[in-house]
Every structure is written in structure tokens, then in C-alpha cells.
């Protein structure tokens, strides 16, 4: 079985949003054998369609496979914040679902004449008008989309903040925001792409011993978990959260959540009872808030202390980067004042704030330079205390590795025992040919880190 | 011997929604990684932050099997419910019949996928990173069951075979006990209140006021006979609906007291199956022809429903049912802790049929009428999730999930 056949569906879609045309092309063997996949191939495709203000969505060879945490979809685009290429990791199930929907890479060129939603399903794409979804919260959009489009297994959605062209807007890959802090949401909004929905029902081939390999790897991981308690709080501990922040987390009320085939649940649901926050649908006044953005939570908690949950929920619902919000909204106000200030940002035709230019990591102490963090979306936690990722260079290469192979970067940062050789064995179990693959992978990592 | 009930337990508290179960299941079904073709499906509710797994419970009496028009579904000797793909016409009736909607339609091929427990070694259980899935073949030994049968046997031997007197009225040393329904009839027939008799009946009434109809489930010698007969005759033909009124036994009680008052003797006691059992079958039995026939005649009602006599006719049960209104304890089934609404094993084992299956399937905790419950605790013994429990009466809420951790 060839590299492409086993790890990719073999199709890429090139979309011209100006006339809503789609060109489905076979995935070039040379492209993936040289650049492996993910962010490295995305960058090549971005260069190829340079001048079209493109967004490239790409999966890695391990996305959707039996390799642990193989959920990743990488969005590559030119960031309006830095003007440089940014690779935003889109987690939960987006990468695997895009592959199951029949595509390895999607290139979105030009701008649609009106807001559209792109639905990807069984190797085809359908455009839905998204005008009625403008300025709605993520919850409202979610219920409308599920009612109107039905078969949705995962999505990337730009919230109401992006509708106002806020650069500090952040895409939502679920109800819990994302790691987008470099303006993917606003770029999508500027191209009139409100969201991309995936409904993957196809299958993906796998190698003979992949399941056994995965099982062995998972067992090994269970002995090397770092710390105790929910994964979300463990990451906060590694980021240096002090006791005042940790005490805010209701450990007993947290329900852990993991992305596709991930043994380390780094997200969690916490209970939120603030009824003023959510309009309409609720469950006896109690709803849960999905926490995915570790940096955002820490920064908000540091700024607003106990009010962090409703403010975080507001950021999630309105598609705002919590780090940016903590820098826009002054400290000291009551919760109602803060929420009305955030909501007030959307009251006029244009966002009423100047864009922020703070450090991506917010108030989190971080040795990763901003431009390096922004290369990978700006939201990946600077987990530099585990393994040998204490230098920005090592951190950067580790994240690039994950972005190329299609593995969640947080997972790879949390488990330094997993080597690139371990992961490449899912692509090529033969030791001899794997060494050449390893060389190409290192070259691809260099490319991503240089871009 | 019926096959052991094998199934997979799902714990939503542990499930992180990673979907590994769907992956490994689909690779067995299709030789590809295709979660939409799996026989297990995880529903992720992002509003409530909860996950639910749709998977086959391999019911004892599978509704899918009955619904299948081509008899493609069969329950094997190993207790596993399987679809024979050769006969399946993909009509989807099994999915509609299943309360869990567990036969899943493959979105790609439009065929039906149903869990076959990987022939006894489920991959999803093996690979679940959080151990949210557990494979079980049911409890090998149920200690409550063993204890109850032992107590019933000892009670039977004591009341019928060993102790002097009958259940109706007997003295064992300093202890004097009497049947409360018998005492009521005695008072009605003699028009006098004999304090010794009333105080002898009080013991049973106080026990019932404390612990519900424990006597019926654990002590009653005729109940023991009914349970034995019920075990021998597992299939029930059912009662016509117009006969299925639990109020009948209260009518029998009123009739018995009224008849005793008119006739001047304890009218019902002459045909009471408990009294007949004690009087006619013990070592000191009278072996009168008519009384000998009462026990088998009433026991034969088990053909219709389990504990038919106790459900609809027993006046002793009626007196105890009235007293059970004052009980201190309840049996509760917490629907939130009951993790598979289609399981309903508690309802299936209940000998007096007081657990509402439909409510359980809707995810609502059924309120068990303690005036009818005979406190046999079969539901507690059977529940694989620990959702059925004894609760003190004044404690609100369902067991197992403290208020502050409910989502």
C-alpha cells in the first residue's frame, strides 16, 4: 500500500469563492512525499495560489488514523495581525472529519459575494447562504445549522465578532472557541465564509499493525501522565497558574473532554448557572461551558478572578479571543458591566475598539517569542516545562512536527516520550524506508519553522 | 439454564467523547476507520456537557428480534443478539423497535450495523482510554438473592413445619404473633377487641411501618411457594386488563371483614392460602381435602403473572400495604444514575411489576409505590449501575449523584 493510499483520501478541493466553483483534483504524490502533509503542504499550496488571499485547510498523514490524538486540521493563511503566514490548529474532530468527508486539503480562494457556509460531505461541497446567521451567537448559529443542515459532525465557524471584522475574533471549532489568536476568523469573514461544516461518512485505510501499535502507545502513555486531576487543570499547572486561579476550577464539577482518539482530555466542561448570559435555550437554568483555551482562561482568570466563567462563556459565544478581551476591558468593573461592555462591542455597525497589540500569551509567563507563537495560531500553550521543550526552538519544532503529521500539538507537548520515529511508524513500518521519511520530515519542519 | 446476560456498561461520567470506541468498532465492521459505520455511537451534548453512547444491551427479550420481518435477528446460546446480514433487508424496523435505537444505520452503505460484542471480546471496551466501557456477563452471584431465598426457606420451615400453631396465630416462647387480617376478621366476627390478639398483630404492623412490606418479600411462606412456582413457570400468559386492579385486594379485605361480621366467624381465614398452607401441609397438618387444594389452586395463578395473588387479591398484603404508607424507607431508582435507559432489568425482575419501564426509558426516575412493593430488593440486586437503592424516606433526590455534582 502506497503512502498516499494508506494515509490520505487522495483528493484536494480548490474553491473559487468568487463564483462558488469547486475543482476537485487528485492529491499530487510528489507534493506529499516531499512535504509529508499538514502545515508544510499547506504552505506550498498557499504559495501556489498566492495573490488570491487564500485560506488552506490541510490534514496530515496521521490525521484520522490510529495514531493517538490524530484530530488535527491546520488552517494556513496570511495573518492580518502579523502579516505573516500563520498555521492555526483546529482540533476536536475537524481533521478526521474532513478526511472522512473525502478531502485531504481544501484551498479557498478569493471572496464570495455574500456570506456563505461551506458544507463538505462525501467528496462533494455544498454552499449554503449564511446571511441569516450574521451577528448570531455561536449557540444560536449552532441550533439553526443543526436544524437546517442536519448532518454536521464538526465545524469551523466565525462568530459575531468576526462579522464586525474584529481582528481579535477567534474561530470556534466547537462551543468552546479555539486556539485561533491570529485572525483566522476575521480572514474567513472578510472572504464571506461564515463557516465550514464537515460530515464525514467515508472510511480511511490503515496499516496492518496500526491498532496494536496504537494500543501499545496508549498503554505507555498512561504511565507517563503528568500530574493528577483533569487534563485542563494539569496544563494550567504546567503553565504556572497560581493557587488563586486553580481554586477557581471546580474540579469535582468538571467533565473531561478529549478530541478525536486522544487519551489525554485537555478540555473540560464546567457548570455555568448565570442565566443572564445565555439567551433562550437552557436546561433548568444550568448549562455547561466548554473550556478549550488554556491561555485564554488563565489570562481572564488573572484579570477578572471569579467572574472568569461567564466572561469566558461570552467570549466563546461571541467568537472572541479571551486574551484580547482581557486587554480591551478594564479591570475592576462588576460582572454585569463587563458583560455589557463586551456585548456593547457589537452594538454598532463596526467594532468599537481599537485592536489590541498585547502579548499573545496574555498574562501567562512565557518564553516563546510572539512571532513564533503566532506562526502556530498564537493559542498553543507554551508548555515548556515538560521534556526538553524548554527552549523556544525545541517548542517550535515540536509544534511544527504535530502540525505536519496532523497530531494535536498539546498532546505532543505533554508527552515528550513520543518521538517522531514512533509516529512515523504509523506511516511506514519499514525501518529502512522510514529513515528517508524521517529526513524529509525534518526538512518539512525546517520549512514550516522558517516560513 | 438460560444464557448469562452479556452486555457493555457505559459510564457517561468517564467518557471524554474521544470516539476511540467508534474507530475500533468501525474497523471491525468495515476494515476501515469510519466512525459513521460503527455499531456504537457516541452522542456529544455540548450544551449539557454530557456524552451518551448508543449501543446494544443484548436484552433478555429483544424487541428488535420481534420486530424483524425476515427473522434476520437472532439471540444466540451465548446471549448475544446478532444480525444475520444474509437475511437482513435493511428495513430499519429493528432500529425503530429498539428503545435504545441501537441497531445503527450505516450512513455510507445504508445497511444496519449492530453490536455483536465482538463475539465475547469487545474491542471498544479493550481500547477505551478512560475505561468508560465495561464488558459484563452479569453478576455471577447476587448476595441479596441468596440471602432472601435463605430467609424465605427458614421462615417457611419455621412457620409451616416447626413452630406450633400457624401463621394466623402462634406463640414461640415469649413471642406471640398474629396475622393482622385475621385479627381484623376476629374483631369483626366476635365484636370484641382482644388486646392480646391486637398486640400480637402489632409486631408485623410495626415491621411494615418501619421497612415496608418486608414480610411479603422475605417471610411469607406462601410467597416462598409462589416464588418457587414462578421459577418453574417462567413464561406468563398475563391477566386480562379488566382484572388487573391492585385495588381488588382492598375489596377482598373489606369483604372478608364484612363477611366475618355477618357470619360470626373468620370467613376468609378458612380459605386463606397462607393459613391453609400452615394448617394443611405442616407436620401437624390437618390434611383436610378442601384446604389441600387451596394452595395449588392459587399457586397456579402464577401462570398468568408473577405473584398474582400478592398483586391483586391478598388481604394480608392489603393491610400491610396500608401500614406501608407510614414506612421509613423507600426503594428508589435514580434515572440519572441509571446509565442505559433501555436496560430496564429492574422492571423485568420486579415480581409485582411496580417499576414503570416507560418512565425509565424516558430517563425519568419512576416513583415506586411502596404500598405495592414487597421489598424483595431484586431490583437492587440486579441493577448493574447501582441506581436502585434503599433511601430514607425524607431524603429527596435520587441516590448516587449528590446535588452539587449534577449537570
Together in a domain, B28 and B128: yes
Mean pLDDT to the nearest integer, A306-326: 87
For residue A364, what pLDDT band results from cuts at 50, 70 and 90?
A: low
CATH class in words for A3-199: alpha beta
For chain B, the domain total comes to: 3
In CATH, what number is assigned to the domain containing residue B387?
3.30.70.20
pLDDT in tens, A142-172: 889 988 887 888 999 999 988 887 778 899 9
Radius of gyration of chain B (CA): 25
Establish if B143 belongs to a structural domain: no
Look at residue B227 in the predicted model and tell me its pLDDT.
92
Establish if B2 belongs to a structural domain: no
Together in a domain, B168 and B112: no
Task: Assign 3-class secondary structure to B88-103.
Answer: CCCCCHHHHHCCCCCC
Q: Least CA distance to A284: which residue of chain B?
A: B407
Between A and B, how many residue pairs show a Cβ–Cβ distance under 8 A? 100
Which of chain B's residues have a Cβ under 8 Å away from the Cβ of A205?
Answer: 32-33
Look at residue B267 in the predicted model and tell me its pLDDT.
85
| CA dihedral for A86, A88, A94, A97, sign (positive or negative) | positive
Task: Pick the closest to residue B205 from B310, B309, B321, B307 (CA basis).
Answer: B321
Together in a domain, B302 and B230: yes
Residue A169 main-chain phi, psi, to 5 deg = -75, 160
Q: Do A215 and B127 touch (CB under 8 A)?
A: yes
Look at residue B401 in the predicted model and tell me its pLDDT.
38
ipTM: 0.91
Together in a domain, B207 and B232: yes
Task: Pick the closest to residue B19 from A258, A215, A178 (CA basis).
Answer: A258
Together in a domain, B370 and B265: no
Domain final residue, candidates B267, B294, B325: B325
B77 touches A at CB < 8 Å: no
Establish if B142 belongs to a structural domain: no
Mean pLDDT to the nearest integer, A166-179: 86
Cα separation, B175 vs A159, whole angstroms: 78
CA-CA-CA-CA dihedral for B100, B102, B103, B106, to nearest 10:
120
Grouping H, G, I as helix, E, B as strand and the rest as coil, residue A128 is strand
- Ordered by start, the domain boundaries in chain A are 3-199
Contact status, residue B252 vs residue B273, Cβ threshold 8 Å? no
Which of chain A's residues have a Cβ under 8 Å away from the Cβ of B397?
Answer: none
Q: Do B129 and A263 touch (CB under 8 A)?
A: yes
Which of chain B's residues have a Cβ under 8 Å away from the Cβ of A100?
Answer: 34-36
Establish if B185 belongs to a structural domain: yes
Q: Do A258 and B17 touch (CB under 8 A)?
A: yes
Task: Pick the closest to residue A286 from A246, A253, A308, A319 (CA basis).
Answer: A253
Q: Do B26 and A203 touch (CB under 8 A)?
A: yes
For residue A22, what pLDDT band results from cuts at 50, 70 and 90?
A: very high
Q: Do A283 and B34 touch (CB under 8 A)?
A: no
Together in a domain, B244 and B203: yes
Establish if B171 belongs to a structural domain: yes
Together in a domain, B33 and B128: yes
Together in a domain, B259 and B356: no
Together in a domain, B169 and B304: yes
Q: Is B227 exposed, middle or buried (0-12, 13-18, 19+ CB in 10 A)?
A: buried
Bridge-based pairing state of the strands A11-16 and A105-109: parallel
Domain final residue, candidates B262, B293, B325: B325
Contact status, residue A91 vs residue A173, Cβ threshold 8 Å? yes
Q: Residue B36: which of A201, A259, A288 has the nearest Cβ?
A: A201
| Nearest CA distance, A100 vs chain B (angstrom) | 7
Domain final residue, candidates B266, B292, B325: B325
Q: Do B36 and A253 touch (CB under 8 A)?
A: no
Candidates B12, B25, B33, B51, partner chain A, best to mutate (most A CBs within 10 A): B33
Together in a domain, B169 and B124: no
pLDDT by residue, tens only, chain B of 407 residues: 555 678 888 888 889 999 999 999 999 989 899 999 999 999 988 877 888 889 898 887 888 999 999 999 999 888 899 999 899 999 999 999 988 889 999 888 889 999 999 988 899 999 998 889 988 876 656 788 899 999 999 988 888 877 666 667 777 667 777 888 888 888 888 888 877 778 888 888 998 998 899 999 999 989 999 999 988 887 778 888 777 888 999 999 999 999 998 988 888 888 888 888 887 777 666 556 677 788 888 888 888 889 999 999 999 999 999 999 888 888 888 766 776 666 788 888 899 999 988 887 777 778 889 899 999 999 988 887 778 888 887 765 544 333 333 32
Residues ≥6 apart with Cβ < 8 Å to B395: none
Is residue A389 over pLDDT 70?
no
Which of chain B's residues have a Cβ under 8 Å away from the Cβ of A8?
Answer: none
Q: Do B33 and A203 touch (CB under 8 A)?
A: yes
Establish if B1 belongs to a structural domain: no
Look at residue A44 in the predicted model and tell me its pLDDT.
94
Q: Do B18 and A262 touch (CB under 8 A)?
A: yes
B392 touches A at CB < 8 Å: no
Let me know the angle formed at the C-alpha of A388 by A387 and A392, rounded to the nearest 5 degrees: 125
Q: Do A253 and B407 touch (CB under 8 A)?
A: yes
Establish if B146 belongs to a structural domain: no
Together in a domain, B335 and B316: no
In the numeric block, which cell numbers belong to residue B233? 413457570
Together in a domain, B332 and B317: no
Q: Do B16 and A265 touch (CB under 8 A)?
A: yes
Q: Which domain holds residue B341?
A: 328-405
Amino acid at each position: 500500500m502506497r503512502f498516499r493510499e494508506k494515509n490520505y483520501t487522495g483528493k484536494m478541493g480548490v474553491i473559487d469563492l468568487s463564483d462558488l466553483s469547486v475543482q476537485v483534483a487528485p492529491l499530487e504524490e510528489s507534493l506529499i512525499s516531499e512535504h509529508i502533509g499538514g502545515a508544510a503542504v499547506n504552505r506550498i499550496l498557499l504559495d501556489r495560489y498566492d495573490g488570491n488571499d487564500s485560506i488552506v485547510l490541510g490534514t496530515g498523514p496521521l490525521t484520522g488514523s490510529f495514531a493517538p490524538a490524530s484530530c488535527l486540521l491546520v488552517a494556513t493563511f496570511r495573518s492580518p495581525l502579523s502579516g505573516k503566514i500563520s498555521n492555526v490548529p483546529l482540533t476536536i474532530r475537524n481533521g478526521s472529519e474532513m478526511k472522512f468527508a473525502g478531502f485531504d486539503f481544501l484551498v479557498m480562494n478569493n471572496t464570495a459575494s455574500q456570506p456563505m457556509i461551506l458544507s463538505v460531505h462525501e467528496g462533494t461541497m455544498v454552499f449554503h447562504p449564511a446571511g441569516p446567521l450574521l451577528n448570531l451567537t455561536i449557540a444560536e448559529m449552532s441550533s439553526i445549522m443543526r436544524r437546517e443542515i442536519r448532518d454536521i459532525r464538526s465545524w469551523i465557524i466565525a462568530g459575531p465578532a468576526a462579522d464586525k471584522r474584529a481582528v481579535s475574533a477567534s474561530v470556534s471549532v466547537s462551543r468552546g472557541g479555539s486556539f485561533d489568536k491570529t485572525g483566522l476568523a476575521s480572514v474567513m469573514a472578510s472572504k464571506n465564509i461564515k463557516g465550514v461544516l464537515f460530515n464525514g461518512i467515508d472510511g480511511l485505510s490503515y496499516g496492518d499493525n496500526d491498532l496494536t501499535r496504537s494500543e501499545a502507545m496508549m498503554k505507555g502513555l498512561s504511565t507517563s501522565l503528568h500530574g493528577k486531576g483533569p487534563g485542563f487543570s494539569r496544563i494550567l499547572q504546567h503553565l504556572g497558574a497560581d493557587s488563586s486561579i486553580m481554586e477557581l476550577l471546580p474540579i469535582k464539577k468538571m467533565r473531561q473532554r478529549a478530541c478525536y482518539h486522544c487519551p489525554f482530555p485537555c478540555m473540560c466542561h464546567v457548570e455555568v448557572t448565570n442565566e443572564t448570559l445565555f439567551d433562550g435555550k437552557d436546561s433548568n437554568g444550568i448549562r455547561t461551558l466548554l473550556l478549550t483555551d488554556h491561555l485564554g482562561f488563565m489570562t481572564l482568570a488573572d484579570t477578572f478572578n471569579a467572574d472568569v466563567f461567564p466572561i469566558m462563556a461570552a467570549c466563546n459565544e461571541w467568537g472572541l479571543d479571551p486574551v484580547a478581551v482581557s486587554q480591551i476591558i478594564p479591570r475592576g468593573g462588576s460582572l454585569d458591566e463587563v458583560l455589557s461592555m463586551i456585548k456593547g462591542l457589537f452594538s454598532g455597525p463596526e467594532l468599537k475598539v481599537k485592536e489590541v497589540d498585547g502579548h499573545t500569551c496574555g498574562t501567562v509567563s512565557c518564553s516563546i517569542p510572539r512571532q513564533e507563537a503566532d506562526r502556530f495560531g498564537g493559542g498553543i500553550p507554551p508548555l515548556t516545562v515538560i521534556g526538553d521543550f524548554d527552549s523556544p526552538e525545541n517548542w517550535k519544532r515540536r509544534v511544527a512536527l504535530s502540525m505536519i503529521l496532523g497530531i494535536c500539538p498539546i498532546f505532543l507537548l505533554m508527552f515528550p516520550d513520543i518521538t517522531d520515529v514512533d509516529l512515523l511508524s504509523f506511516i511506514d513500518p519499514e525501518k529502512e524506508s522510514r529513515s528517508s521519511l524521517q529526513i524529509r520530515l525534518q526538512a518539512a519542519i525546517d520549512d514550516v519553522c522558517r516560513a | 439454564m438460560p444464557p448469562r446476560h452479556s452486555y457493555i456498561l457505559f459510564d457517561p461520567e468517564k467518557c471524554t467523547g474521544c470516539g476511540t470506541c467508534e474507530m475500533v468498532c468501525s474497523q471491525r465492521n468495515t476494515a476501515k476507520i469510519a466512525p459513521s459505520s460503527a455499531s456504537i455511537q457516541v452522542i456529544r451534548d455540548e450544551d449539557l456537557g454530557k456524552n451518551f453512547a448508543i449501543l446494544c444491551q443484548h436484552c433478555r427479550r429483544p424487541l428488535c428480534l420481534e420486530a424483524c420481518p425476515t427473522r434476520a435477528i437472532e439471540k444466540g446460546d451465548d446471549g448475544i443478539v446478532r444480525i444475520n446480514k444474509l437475511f437482513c433487508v435493511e428495513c430499519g424496523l429493528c432500529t425503530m423497535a429498539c428503545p435504545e435505537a441501537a441497531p445503527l444505520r450505516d450512513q455510507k452503505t445504508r445497511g444496519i450495523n449492530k453490536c455483536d460484542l465482538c463475539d465475547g471480546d469487545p474491542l471498544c471496551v479493550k481500547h477505551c482510554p478512560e475505561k468508560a466501557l465495561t464488558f459484563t456477563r452479569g453478576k455471577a452471584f447476587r448476595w441479596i438473592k441468596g440471602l432472601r431465598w435463605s430467609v424465605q426457606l427458614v421462615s417457611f420451615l419455621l412457620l409451616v413445619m416447626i413452630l406450633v400453631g400457624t401463621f394466623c396465630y402462634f406463640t414461640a416462647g415469649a413471642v406471640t404473633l398474629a396475622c393482622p387480617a385475621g385479627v381484623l376478621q376476629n374483631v369483626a366476627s366476635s365484636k370484641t377487641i382482644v388486646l392480646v390478639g391486637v398486640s400480637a398483630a402489632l409486631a408485623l404492623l410495626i415491621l411494615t411501618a418501619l421497612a415496608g412490606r418486608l414480610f411479603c418479600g422475605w417471610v411469607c411462606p406462601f410467597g416462598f411457594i409462589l416464588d418457587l412456582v414462578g421459577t418453574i413457570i417462567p413464561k406468563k400468559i398475563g391477566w386480562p386488563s379488566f382484572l388487573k386492579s391492585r385495588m381488588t385486594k382492598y375489596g377482598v379485605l373489606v369483604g372478608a371483614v364484612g363477611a366475618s361480621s355477618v357470619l360470626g366467624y373468620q370467613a376468609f381465614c378458612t380459605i386463606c392460602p397462607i393459613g391453609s398452607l400452615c394448617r394443611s401441609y405442616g407436620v401437624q397438618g390437618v390434611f383436610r381435602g378442601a384446604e389441600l387444594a387451596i394452595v395449588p389452586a392459587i399457586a397456579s395463578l402464577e401462570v398468568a403473572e408473577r405473584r398474582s395473588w400478592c398483586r391483586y387479591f391478598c388481604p394480608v398484603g392489603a393491610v400491610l400495604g396500608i401500614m406501608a404508607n407510614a414506612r421509613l424507607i423507600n426503594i428508589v431508582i435514580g434515572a440519572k444514575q441509571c446509565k442505559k435507559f433501555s436496560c430496564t432489568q429492574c422492571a423485568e425482575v420486579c415480581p409485582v411489576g411496580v417499576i414503570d419501564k416507560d418512565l425509565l426509558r424516558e430517563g425519568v426516575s419512576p416513583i415506586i409505590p411502596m404500598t405495592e412493593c414487597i421489598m424483595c430488593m431484586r431490583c437492587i440486586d440486579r441493577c448493574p449501575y447501582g441506581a436502585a437503592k434503599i433511601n430514607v424516606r425524607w431524603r429527596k433526590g435520587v441516590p448516587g449523584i449528590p446535588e452539587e455534582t449534577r449537570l
